[in-house]
Structure 1
Amino acid sequence: MSVKTNFLKEMSWKMFEDKKKETDLVLIPSGAFEVYGPHLPLGSDTLVSVKIAELVAERVNAIIGPTLEVGDSAMLDVFPGTITIQPESFKAYLTDALRSLRKWGFKDFLFINTHLGNVPIIGQIAHNIQRENEVRCAQIDYWRFIKSLDKGIIESGDLAHAHASEAGTSVLMYLYPHLVDTEKWVNEPPKSNDQFSDFIQYNNYDKSTTSGTIGNATLGTKEKGEALVNRSVDRIVQFLLQKWHIKEKNSVIS
């Protein structure tokens, strides 16, 4: 029985050789291990980035590379279970992974990232590798990315996209319903309205939330999550087809 997979880690070296002939594109998921409300798993960011990469790879010729499961979550480490990686460590690890991928001929790198703390680090690496090699890089800051795609879906305004709120809860309800505990979800607005919100400040996350949620998670639904995921995947595929001219698969893998 032949194995069908888009994940590099699931391929034999012979499978990889054959698959690599079809594409120069590698998708690199990255996320975090941190508090994501009392109702969602600590690995929510990572779980979502991997699944979005999988859905994209089902529609275009791409290989899913190594997942960077843990990011810089220092400001959230007052909550139990949070794991954080120093930015220097994250940067070194990802740089080495990209060098290996570049060695095997990849020229297009799309980072599917669901953790805000990873954004500037990935950006630095992307600029560096593009300067040193003839490659293309792009990054999706997923939770900010879906803000532009939520028309007619979300109900709670800007707070819908706050931490573990309506949008994030909905996406997890669609992608990983068995990991969502709706008996524990909450509606928690920010602890205070900061009159100096235009300043970047460096407070621990417990200054903003008691539960790890900011916003109304109880408005989350599977249907909203499905709509947000479908729109986001469509938009990513549109970029790859129209901007990078990546080949679309003839059929979607079920």
Structure 2
Amino acid sequence: MSSPATVWMNQLSWVEYQQRIRRDHPPVLMPVGALEQHGPHLPLGTDGLLAAAVAADTAARVGGLVAPTLSYGYKSQPKCGGGQHFCGTTSVDAATLIGQVRDAVREFARHGVDKLVVVNGHYENQWFLIEGIDLGLRDARAADPACALQVMRLEYWDFMTPETLGHVFPEGFPGFALEHAAVLETSMMLHHHPSLVRMDLLPDDGPADFPPYDMYPPRTDWVPASGVLSSARGADAAKGRLLAEEVARRMAEAIATGFSRPAP
């Protein structure tokens, strides 16, 4: 079979999409991001842009399709996203995100999709994606007891191996939470969307030093003024390419393995 012209679902007509679903049973990858500050050097849409990019790279490896990104995420938290006090950060309540995912899962089941991959690019989304998937599958199976849909949920950064992180961080990896707008995301954006990165505006803030507890209302003075939780110095496109290639390869392997058995 020849390679499809596009992996992007929204570039297909409904007829083309239906043919692909019925003929090829492709995995459909749905990126989920956020509209959230990422310092002065990265765009507000970084989480969604990266989730969509790794989804597209993976889809090309597995003959999949990429659905449009859900671009509004759960509320930014100070210790992993800088918090809600930054201009431009535009978040949704948990119930809203759960509802969006629930509806999407139900609709993909109605289309006849049997393999759906929810690709998360925003740390704070995780538990609400799980709830949306659970409720969406419940709806789908209530409507059609023979529903064959299976859903995989993943955070793309979990597919970065310690060996690769060691190459990217020769002086030690600071952890994913503090990597907000830092070396990982900046490097991957330099690889996928170099025109959107302002390396001349890199701040020197961080690493942030948070206490082992949270306060409500949040203490905005805990967060560096730039919104960057750890320095992005040392980021480059070569590191981004290394990370992106590993993530796409290992996500493709996970899809092949995870969907190898029929739905229970």
Alpha-carbon distance between aligned partners in 2 of 1:72 and 1:17, rounded to the nearest angstrom: 32
- 1:80–1:200 Cα change, 3 Å: closer
2:247 aligned partner:
232
- Residue matched to 1:6: 7
Q: Which residue of 1 aligns with 2:91?
A: 84
Q: Deviations over 1:27-67 (max 9, x none)?
A: 01010111111100000001111111111111112121231
Kept in 2, the 8 Å contact 1:6–1:62? The answer is yes
Q: Is the aligned partner of 1:43 residue 2:58?
A: no
Equivalent of residue 139 in structure 1, options 153, 169, 177: 153
SS, match of residue 247 in structure 2: helix
Paired residues of 2:183 and 2:234 also in contact (CA < 8 A): yes
Deviation at 1:92, TM superposition (A): 1.1
Give the superposition deviation at 1:245: 3.6
Letter in structure 2 aligned against 1:218 = R
Match of 2:123 in 1: 116
Deviation at 1:16, TM superposition (A): 0.9
CA contact under 8 A between 2:32 and 2:121: conserved in structure 1? yes
| 8 Å CA contact retained: 2:101, 2:136 | no
Please state how far the C-alpha of 1:7 moved relative to its aligned partner.
Answer: 1.5
1:214 & 1:72 partners in 2: Cα distance?
19
Which amino acid in the other structure matches residue 238 of structure 1?
E
Equivalent pair of 1:39/1:180 in contact (CA under 8 Å) = yes
2-structure distance, mates of 1:77, 1:91: 19
Q: What's the offset of the Cα at 1:205? A: 5.5
Between 26-35 and 85-94, report the one with greater CA deviation.
Answer: 85-94
Deviation at 1:210, TM superposition (A): 1.4
Structure 1 residues 147 and 118: alpha-carbon distance in aligned structure 2, compared to 1, 3 A threshold: farther
> Could you say if the C-alpha distance between residues 192 and 240 of structure 1 is closer, same or farther in structure 2, counting changes exceeding 3 Å?
closer
Tell me the equivalent position of 1:126: 133
**Higher mean Cα deviation, 66-75 or 76-85?**
66-75
Deviates more, 1:68-77 or 1:41-50: 68-77
Query: Is contact 1:27–1:63 with CA below 8 Å preserved after alignment?
Result: yes
Quick one: distance in 2 between partners of 1:104 and 1:163?
36
SS of 2:106's equivalent in the other structure is helix
CA contact (8 A) 2:102 2:135 kept: no
**Structure 2: segments with no counterpart, 5+ residues:** 78-82, 142-146
**Aligned-pair identity (%):** 24
Contact preservation (8 Å) 1:108, 1:136: yes
Alignment partners' CA distance in 1, 2:237 and 2:260: 32
The equivalent position to 1:210 in structure 2, one of 206, 221, 225, is: 225
Instruction: Render the CA deviation track for 1:135-178: whole Å, top value 9, x for unaligned.
Output: 32222212454364523222353336421111111111111111
Query: Quick one: which amino acid aligns to residue 119 of structure 2?
Result: I
Query: Which structure 1 residue ranges, 5 or more long, are not aligned?
Result: 247-254
Contact 1:72 1:84 in 2 (8 A): yes
Aligned residues: 241
Moved more, 217-226 or 11-20: 11-20
User: Secondary structure at 2:104's aligned position in 1?
Assistant: helix
Judging changes above 3 Å, is the alpha-carbon distance between structure 1 residues 204 and 84 closer, same or farther for their aligned structure 2 residues? farther
Q: Which stretch of the first structure deviates more once superposed, 175-184 or 8-17?
A: 8-17
Q: How many Å separate the matches in 1 of 2:67 and 2:33?
A: 14
d(CA) in 2 for partners of 1:72, 1:206: 21
Q: Greater CA deviation, 147-156 or 229-238?
A: 147-156
Q: 1:145 to 1:201 in 2, by over 3 A?
A: farther
From the superposition, tell whether residues 8 and 193 of structure 1 become closer, same or farther in structure 2 (CA, over 3 Å). closer
Moved more, 132-141 or 224-233: 132-141
1:97 corresponds in structure 2 to 104
**Deviation at 1:206?**
5.0
1:69 corresponds in structure 2 to 71
Q: How well do the aligned residues superpose, as a CA RMSD in angstroms?
A: 2.2
In the alignment, is the contact (CA less than 8 A) between 2:33 and 2:71 conserved in 1? yes
